[in-house]
Amino acid sequence: MQKAGNAMIRFCTILIVTLFVTPISASDESLVIYGSRQQALMAPLLQAYRASRGVAVRYVQDKSDQLLQRLAEEGDASSADLLLTADIGVLEAAREMGLLQAKQSQLLSSLIPAKYRDPQGFWYGLSLRARMLLYVPGRIPRFELRDYADLSSSALKGRVCMRDLKHVYNQSLIAALVARWGEKRVRAWLSGVISNLARPPQGGDRDQVRALAKGECDVAVVNSYYFAMMLDGDNERDREVANRVSRVWPETGVHVNISGGGVTHHSPHPQLAIDFLEFLAGFDSQRLFAELNHEYPAVLGVPVSHTLMRLGAFEADFRPLALIARQREKASKVIHDLSNTD
């Protein structure tokens, strides 16, 4: 099964960045998607949709900020029907910029838990990733690391690794903590975390895991799917590194973020865009998200990958992502203030 999955990924990565799926019906309708998700993940889903609906699909891939800029510049001349991207911060930014339209779907509302979708229908979560804590057994007692709060403990002085605090993954985590604790406590907490850093924030999530194995730090903050891909990937060194560390699910509630999508404000085919989102919320599509990218399905009852099963169960933060997203400005200010302190 793994070999087949890897073969599919290798095949998909040779596709050009703009993917055309030709129709099998006489319909003149076509769907244009602006997405930041990798071709390796999206290609099998796009082809399955084409086979199911007979609709032409054009997928345009770029970085999230570039897609938002493009939508803003194109305005009502845009051909994009749908925005697919990762992180609630990006989806909320698109909503605030007026780049998405509210589009309710009874099916999506019944499948996607309320906390993972916008109450007005501007965006819907399609897959989930958890912000987890990793540590090196033998270098840190398990009881010293139970929750995000412990990252600021004096016991971890000079022992913590993180990527850039201004990265959207960390911004969203800090926004979630503002919603949970309030800005004053988060400011004190983040000051402690910065004091505990073993090195300046750098690299991506995988680099934090590698730093643990090298002995550069003892604790790191990582998204679950990056860690799972290291455990299950083709890179033998990364597999070895990932198997040398242990994970902690924060006991007061794990911050869970989404990859999701919303219908663009000037979509020529809004109903078709919603139909595609509903297709992505279907059992088979959700299973593909889980198998190809080691993300948690947004729809309850869809099995997770074997690797995610190894990581065990956790209790997710109960707060709606729409509520957490409203704390992004406060989170950004705290990060900016503390990151620029001499």
Residue-wise pLDDT for 190-233, tens only, equals: 999 999 999 999 999 999 999 999 999 999 999 999 999 999 99
pLDDT of 260: 97
CA–CA distances in Å: residue 202 to residues 163, 196, 258: 5, 15, 23
**One domain, residues 42 and 85:** yes
Query: What is the domain-level CATH number for residue 187?
Result: 3.40.190.10
CA-wise closest residue to 335 among 92, 151, 164: 164
Q: Give the pLDDT mean for 163-177.
A: 97
pLDDT-based confidence at residue 303 (cuts at 50, 70, 90): very high
Which of 141-155, 175-189, 271-285 is predicted with the least confidence, judged by mean pLDDT? 141-155
Q: Is the pLDDT of residue 18 over 70?
A: no
Q: Is the pLDDT of residue 8 over 80?
A: no
**One domain, residues 139 and 281:** no
Condensed to tens digits (0 to 9), the pLDDT of residues 34-46 reads 999 888 789 999 9
**One domain, residues 240 and 274:** no
Mean pLDDT for all residues in the chain = 91
Q: Is the pLDDT of residue 148 over 50?
A: yes
pLDDT of 38: 86
pLDDT-based confidence at residue 140 (cuts at 50, 70, 90): confident
**One domain, residues 8 and 59:** yes
279 Cβ neighbours under 8 A, 6+ residues apart: 48, 49, 52, 53, 285
**One domain, residues 209 and 224:** yes
Q: What percent of the chain has pLDDT over 70?
A: 91
**One domain, residues 213 and 293:** no
Beta-sheet pairing, 56-61 with 30-35 = parallel
- Rounded to whole angstroms, how far apart are CA atoms 116 and 124? 7
**One domain, residues 71 and 213:** no
**One domain, residues 25 and 171:** no
Which residue range(s) make up the domain with 207? 129-254+316-339
pLDDT of 292: 86
pLDDT of 26: 34
What's the token pair of residue 240?
Answer: 């070895």
Q: Is the pLDDT of residue 87 over 80?
A: yes
The total of structural domains in the chain comes to 2
Q: Is the pLDDT of residue 284 over 50?
A: yes
**One domain, residues 197 and 325:** yes
pLDDT of 315: 97
More confident residue, 292 or 244: 244
213 Cβ neighbours under 8 A, 6+ residues apart: 136, 240, 241, 244, 245
For 67-72, the CB contacts below 8 A with 24+ separation are 67/34, 67/35, 67/36, 68/93, 68/94, 68/97, 68/99, 70/34, 71/34, 71/97, 71/99, 71/264, 71/265, 72/97, 72/99
More confident residue, 342 or 251: 251
**One domain, residues 194 and 322:** yes
**One domain, residues 230 and 278:** no
Condensed to tens digits (0 to 9), the pLDDT of residues 48-85 reads 999 999 999 999 999 999 999 999 999 999 999 999 99
Q: Is the pLDDT of residue 20 over 80?
A: no
**One domain, residues 10 and 105:** yes
Which of 140-149, 167-176, 185-194, 208-217 is predicted with the least confidence, judged by mean pLDDT? 140-149
